């Protein structure tokens, strides 16, 4: 059996579905009993537990031979770095005595040591902790999720795409489905694999490319509206982020804007292009009044 953490999110759900379609026995871990019931209807077993409970998580992991590990994002109204460090530590603790033969763990491009750099720092520490324990671990670093633009669909319908990134800054981006399929493949590889793998989309894209993709899908002009650096924290605070989370997310943004990230020269390339992703997003969510 393969255990999948984060199966109610974009990446984890694709991991679970891909494995089920491949005929694998899958158990998903979710905090929601309703979502657990939904997965059971799709052919998976489900454990409705909080990954912050290391003992209960270890009991679940003992039922599998491999696992996909995804540290869940904390609510932005909290101190996200503190909360995500807590759950990451719990996941690593649960591996001790689990008997797993191998794991694949989700991480991020630009993972690096440091405070107030959001997931970049938290997931770097997660990577280091996984490397220090005995179960072979493959780290899959994913590029900037194309799904991060989903919440801006309504703004794009109004003709504007807000962005903290400069309009022409080209960034590695990837569809969560490509990440999930890549992780599922790695979970089915022969045991013993270790190391870091990078996954991104077919090419790199800028916020202007995102605006153009929305414009094409919506059939109306969409202009990029760049928030200056001094407005970043205020923008996050306006969305309900705590002060600590706003500072951390602003610090994470600065790493990309300042070019302080060593990008891989030969990443694994996913199949989903940005224009395809945005077109499917608009089609799936429809337009106002439909």
DSSP 8-state code for residue 84: H
Q: Is 33 exposed, middle or buried (0-12, 13-18, 19+ CB in 10 A)?
A: exposed
Rounded Cα distance between 211 and 62, Å, is: 46
SS3 content of the chain, % helix, strand, coil (to 5): 45, 20, 35
C-beta atoms surrounding 93 within 10 Å: 16
Average pLDDT, the chain: 95
With 0-12 CB in 10 A as exposed, 13-18 as middle and 19+ as buried, what is 21?
A: exposed
| Domain segments of the chain as ranges | 2-144+174-200
CATH (one of 3.30.43.10, 3.40.50.1820, 3.90.1150.10, 3.40.50.720) for 2-144+174-200: 3.40.50.720
pLDDT digits (tens, 9 = 90+) for 235-260: 999 999 999 999 999 999 999 999 88
Residues 6+ apart with CB under 8 A from 257: 164, 165, 166, 169, 229
101 with 61: CB under 8 angstroms? no
Query: Which residues have CB under 8 Å from 168's CB, separation 6+?
Result: 206, 207, 208
> What does the pLDDT look like over 257-287, one tens digit per residue?
998 898 998 999 999 999 999 999 999 886 5
Q: Is the pLDDT reported for residue 122 higher than 70?
A: yes
Give bridge partners of residue 46 from the DSSP assignment.
28
pLDDT tens readout for residues 128-174: 999 999 999 999 999 999 999 999 999 999 999 999 999 999 999 99
């Amino acid at each position: 059996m393969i255990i999948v953490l984060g199966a109610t999110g974009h990446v984890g759900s694709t991991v679970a579905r891909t494995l089920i379609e491949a005929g694998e026995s899958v158990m998903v871990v979710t905090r929601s009993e309703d979502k657990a019931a939904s997965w059971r209807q799709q052919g998976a077993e489900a454990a409705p537990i909080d990954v912050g409970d290391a003992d209960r998580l270890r009991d679940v992991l003992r039922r599998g031979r491999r696992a996909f590990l995804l540290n869940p994002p904390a609510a932005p109204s909290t101190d996200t770095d503190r909360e995500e460090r807590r759950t990451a530590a719990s996941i690593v603790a649960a591996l001790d005595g689990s008997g797993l033969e191998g794991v694949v763990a989700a991480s991020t491009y630009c993972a690096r040591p440091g405070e107030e750099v959001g997931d970049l720092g938290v997931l770097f520490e997660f990577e280091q902790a996984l490397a220090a324990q005995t179960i072979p671990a493959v780290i899959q670093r994913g590029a900037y999720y194309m799904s991060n633009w989903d919440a801006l669909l309504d703004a794009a319908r109004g003709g504007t795409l807000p962005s903290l990134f400069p309009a022409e800054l080209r960034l590695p981006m990837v569809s969560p489905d490509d990440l999930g399929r890549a992780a599922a493949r790695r979970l089915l590889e022969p045991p013993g694999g270790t190391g870091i793998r990078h996954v991104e989309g077919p090419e790199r894209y800028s916020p202007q490319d995102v605006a153009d993709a929305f414009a094409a899908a919506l059939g109306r002009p969409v202009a990029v509206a760049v928030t200056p650096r001094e407005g970043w924290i205020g923008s996050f605070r306006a969305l309900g982020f705590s002060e600590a989370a706003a500072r951390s997310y602003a610090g994470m943004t600065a790493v990309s804007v300042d070019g302080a990230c060593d990008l891989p020269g030969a990443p694994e390339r996913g199949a989903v292009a940005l224009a395809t992703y945005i077109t499917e997003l608009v089609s799936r969510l429809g337009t106002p009044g439909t």
